[in-house]
Amino acid sequence: MTETADHHFDATGLMCPEPVMMLHGKVREMAGGETLEVVATDPSTQRDIPKFCQFLGHELILSEERDGKYVFRIRKKPD
């Protein structure tokens, strides 16, 4: 994937509910339309981050497993 994210959040080592709680704050600081790449190690993020996006109206652009980590790319909904 050639597109690079505007922001990065390393949630490796954090366990539920910390990744999503901290993600909420990160997204709040972003402008509408900006993207955030999240790297996590907690398997529950595979369920929680898509639900977070769906509930708040953000676009989940990418969700994949890479080298034992879970990588997500989120586009914040327009302001």
Any idea which residues carry the catalytic annotation? 16
> Rounded to whole angstroms, what are the CA distances from 55 to 15, 51, 66, 77?
21, 6, 25, 12
Interhelix angle 45-56/18-29, nearest 10 degrees: 40
